[in-house]
Structure 1
Amino acid sequence: MKIYNKKGLVFGVVWIALGVCNLIINIVSPEEFLSKQIKDVLIAVVVIMIGSSGFIRAFSKQATREDRMEDQDERNQLLALKTKALTLKIFYGCLGMSAIGAVAGYKLTDNPAWIPIFTVAAVLLGLLLLVELIVSIYYERSM
């Protein structure tokens, strides 16, 4: 059989492996609560089904063509671009609010436990700004 979609094949194998590992873990060390055990088994079955779908589609020429057309669809690309941009804005806001909240918490309580929270938020915010600057320079030079 010829593999038409290598990425889909890897996706399917990884998901099947995750589902089988989850199923084996549920069988070897079952949960005490029956409802949680049933939920874990159902999740494992769903993950295996998702993986097997990707695995089977990797060998179909028509399914691979449909997947590629869907990936190249302008509407899907625009939706992904807008989603990522909004996610980045929300992440900026959350990090900024965390840093401001940590500084306010430290000022109000004089508890040094707020300092690591501020440090992590500030370092992540700085790293995010640095990555955005580097990507911006990269795209300015390539166009």
Structure 2
Amino acid sequence: MKIYDKKKFVFGMMSLLLGICLLVLGFLKGFNSTRIILMILLPIIGISEIYLGINQEAVKREKFEGTEERNRLISLSSKSKAFDVVQTINFALIFLFLILGKQSGEENFIAMGVSFSFIFAISRFVNFFSEIYYERNM
């Protein structure tokens, strides 16, 4: 057995071991719904990741898909659109919490609005500096 993707193989082994540990813990301390769900999901994920780590064709196909220009363009476009949507929602939450704070007089709403505005400012600065970086280096 040869390992072609060590990260997937290690992740699969860890998931499988966590599932086994949860099974043992369930027998020792009792079962609850969270443990049962994780006991089922972790070994399934672990076995599939181990299989993907030792399957040469799957590793080649995944590396090809990761480097294909169309897939990279789709990934970059979706991340960019997701960032725009998050910034828009963040901007709306700023106004919502500031208006709620003004109407109700609760300082907690105002604090939440200021917190969201701080996050919005950080995201704008990061976006601005990353654009400068990529304009210089591309």
Regarding TM over 0.5, the answer is yes
What is the rounded CA distance, in whole Å, between the counterparts of 2:22 and 2:111 in structure 1?
35
Match of 1:7 in 2: 7
Match of 1:59 in 2: 54
Equivalenced residues, count? 137
3-state SS of paired residue (1:105)? helix
State the 1:107 CA deviation. Answer: 1.8
- Aligned identity (percent) is 24
For residues 65-104 of structure 1, what are the structure 2 equivalents within 5 Å?
65-104=60-99
Could you list the structure 1 runs, at least 4 aligned residues long, displaced by more than 6 angstroms after superposition: none
Unaligned runs of 5+ in 2: none
With normalisation by structure 1, the TM-score equals 0.79
RMSD of aligned residue pairs (Cα, Å): 2.3
Distance 1:123 1:8, change over 3 A: same
State the 1:95 CA deviation. Answer: 0.8
Mapped contact 2:102–2:110 kept (Cα < 8 A): no
State the 1:65 CA deviation. Answer: 0.8
Moved more, 10-19 or 81-90: 10-19
With normalisation by structure 2, the TM-score equals 0.81
State the 1:11 CA deviation. Answer: 3.1
State the 1:30 CA deviation. Answer: 2.0
